[in-house]
Amino acid sequence: TQKEIVDSYVAVCDLLGLDLALVQTNIRADAQLCIMYENMIKGSPYVIVDVGGDSIDIGILDETLRVTGTVDEGGNSLTDAIARVLHITHDKAHKIKITKGIAAGAQQAKIKSAVDPILDKVVVEIQRMIKFYEERVHEGAEVSQILIVGGGANMPGLGDYLTNATHIATRVSSPWGKYLEFGHIEPPENADLPRFLTCIGLALAKDEDIAGL
């Protein structure tokens, strides 16, 4: 559970003699990043989809984070599904996931059939959250875009899949170049860039949210 994960981080900090200043969920850190670097229009909410290794976190962002949800399967589940259907190792399946994904290709039908059950859960959760938001939180508002972040955001074809399934324009959040850069540090491969966004979002936490400041 999330509580067990947080408790384990607290325990590690205690063992290291570190004062824990802030604990945030991935989706809240993602929201902080998008608020600062995405050209959001007031009254035009976004859906954020954070594809992590063990889960996929989803949030609706309208000036602040309004609604959140989680699908208890993530990038590792997608890799496992591909490995099973193609009868290959986990490592080979991971490589196929990040290089071929569910984009057009010779094995697309098999790969898509393998990951469909997981991605369908994501679509259902997105639709459930949008319905709740539009009926209970901001009546009349219409979600304008879906932003994908996280280590699993680099799967080719994922954006098109969500666009077709939800009828909402979907893209990978990529503030690099325009707003963010690595300076003199050698940047990672383009496929790895989305996994850094949550860390940057965490660094954007407000002073009043941090203990001791």
| Per-residue model confidence (pLDDT) at position 76 | 95
50: Cα separation from own chain's centroid: 1
Instruction: Tell whether 155 is covered by a domain.
Output: yes
Give the CATH number for residue 143.
Answer: 3.30.420.40
| Per-residue model confidence (pLDDT) at position 64 | 86
Structure tokens at 189: 């491969």
How far is 144 from 4, CA to CA, in rounded Å?
35
Instruction: Tell whether 97 is covered by a domain.
Output: no
Q: Which residues contact 48 (CB under 8 A, 6 or more apart)?
A: 27, 30, 31, 34, 57, 58, 59, 60, 61, 146, 147, 149, 173
Question: Residues in the chain with pLDDT < 70?
Answer: 1-2, 175-180, 211-213
| Per-residue model confidence (pLDDT) at position 24 | 85
| Per-residue model confidence (pLDDT) at position 186 | 81
| Per-residue model confidence (pLDDT) at position 87 | 96
Instruction: Tell whether 107 is covered by a domain.
Output: no
> Which pTM value belongs to this model?
0.85
Rounded to 5 degrees, what are φ and ψ at 22?
Answer: -160, 135
Instruction: Tell whether 79 is covered by a domain.
Output: no
Instruction: Tell whether 84 is covered by a domain.
Output: no
**Counted domains in the chain:** 1
Instruction: Tell whether 158 is covered by a domain.
Output: yes
Instruction: Tell whether 91 is covered by a domain.
Output: no
Domain of 133 in residue numbering reads as 25-73+119-209
Instruction: Tell whether 50 is covered by a domain.
Output: yes
